[in-house]
Amino acid sequence: MDLGSLILLIVIGTSVWVFFDAPSHGLSRTWALGALALWIVAFPWYLVERGKHSPRARLDSPPPGGHRWWDGRQWTEHWRPGD
């Protein structure tokens, strides 16, 4: 297998992966066409957009926590008086 065949296999393989992966991140399957036609630009761009639309990015942030402080007997997670 020569280098050209290997590159072609990588481009086709990653484009097929984009075709099946894009809907699970709320993206259009046309990203696969872009990856196939202009791989050197579209595939890295897809990876960036995929990161922005990942399920982790859509989760709400946790509520703000309080300060831990030593009250003389134990550590607490309540707000210190005066804060």
Q: Hey, which residues does 75 pair with through a beta bridge?
A: 70
Return the structure tokens found at 5. Answer: 């065949």
Find where tokens 């791989």 sit.
Answer: 39
pLDDT digits (tens, 9 = 90+) for 9-43: 999 999 999 999 999 888 999 999 999 999 999 99
Q: What is the model's pLDDT at position 42?
A: 95
Confidence at residue 63, expressed as pLDDT on a 0 to 100 scale: 54
3-state secondary structure the chain: CCHHHHHHHHHHHHHHHHHHHHHHHCCCCHHHHHHHHCHHHHHHHHHHHHHHCCHHHHCCCCCCCCCCEECCCCEECCCCCCC
Q: State the chain's mean pLDDT as an integer.
A: 82
